Amino acid sequence: MSLPQKETETIMITQGAVEFERIPKPKHGSEDWLRLRWRDKNGRCTFGASDAPALMGASPYSTRSDLFFDKSVDPTVEEDKPVFRRGNVLEPALLEEASHLLGVNVFTPSVMYRAGRFTISKDGVDNEERPTVGVEAKTSARYSVHTADDLPFEWRWQGWAQQSVLNVPLFFIVLDRDLRISMVELPRNQEAIDQLWAEAERFGALVDSGARADAEINQFSADQIASLYKATPTAIELPESARAVLANLRDARETRRVAEKQETIAKDELARLLLAHEIGLLDGEQVITWKQHSGKQALDTKRLRADLPEVYENFLKIGDPFRVMRVK
């Protein structure tokens, strides 16, 4: 697979004589941007700073097995979620405030920075070629931030990944859950940075080898395994422990079937009580609503295929193959 690699420039910065590459940055979040954080020009697995929390087991959103899976398959562009949109909209204002507080012009660079197995994008720097300060803009509905002690470890690992590449002071400018804007400096932790680089090398080499580490596979979901392993018409003798797992699956499916039946019965009974009324009360308190909604719009594919077969074929989209698990 050919990887898009734009012209890069390797420079040496003064703080600690850390060598890094400066790479023209594609559109943030685009496939080209993802691929630069996915593999380097030699095809080695690389990580973005936002991968560091999952790598170190500190992310509340992604596990190490999720990261292993993501690095083992082609990167895909994520949809623009509201939380990402919020951050993108507010980031310029936060960087402007950081410029005011630091007394230097902080701006988003047009390049990415790479050293070792890390390829990072910076929210803000004071100098694109040789940064002397870095700024990370955060909006959070989860955390309240007053001092550096309030920085969650998921942010700290991300910050240490950035410090490991640029080796400059890093500040977090945060709009927190209390709608307070705070700016705090992340204390440099060389021991953490050393651990991060060692784990990036170990984990990255494992991905590069194409091996399926037992420690990671044991946490994979069925969908992730279906994506990694193409089904073959072969059989495998399962261990005796699988007997209990099969029983659990049968029980779970039966429980779901019974629950769905009970739900249908309850809804039918409540409908017969509500009739045309939208709201149901108990002791004067609203306990249920049954409101009318507009019908969903749907394309009549059967009619389209019959009346305009060429148009139907031109716009037909076939999804990825999938596997179905059935218990005999």
Q: How far apart are CA 154 and CA 162, in angstroms?
A: 13
- Mean pLDDT for 101-127 is 93
Judging by beta carbons within 10 Å of its beta carbon (0-12, 13-18, 19+), is residue 152 exposed, middle or buried? middle
Q: How far apart are CA 120 and CA 115, in angstroms?
A: 9
pLDDT at position 216 is: 58
Beta-strand relationship, 124-125 and 285-289: unpaired
Does 210 score more than 90 pLDDT? no
Does 119 score more than 90 pLDDT? yes
Does 155 score more than 80 pLDDT? yes
Q: pLDDT over 90 for what percent of the chain?
A: 53
For the chain, state the CA radius of gyration. 26
User: What band does 178 get if pLDDT is binned at 50, 70 and 90?
Assistant: very high
- Mean pLDDT for 194-223 is 78
Contact by Cβ (8 Å): 118, 40: no
pLDDT at position 7 is: 41
- Mean pLDDT for 56-74 is 86
pLDDT at position 12 is: 43
Between 67 and 231, where is the model more confident?
Answer: 67
Judged by average pLDDT, the poorest of 75-89, 158-172, 174-188, 275-289 is 75-89
Does 317 score more than 90 pLDDT? no
- Mean pLDDT for 7-26 is 63
Does 262 score more than 90 pLDDT? yes
Does 14 score more than 70 pLDDT? no
Q: In 10 A of CB 173, how many CB atoms? A: 27
- Mean pLDDT for 110-122 is 92
Q: H-type helices in the chain, by residue range?
A: 31-36, 52-55, 64-72, 82-102, 153-166, 190-209, 214-217, 222-228, 242-274, 301-307, 309-315
Cα pseudo-dihedral 102, 104, 105, 106, rounded to 10:
-40
Q: What's the CATH number for 9-217? A: 3.90.320.10
Name, in order, each residue with C-beta under 8 angstroms of 90's C-beta and a sequence gap of 6 or more.
137, 139, 175
User: What band does 52 get if pLDDT is binned at 50, 70 and 90?
Assistant: very high
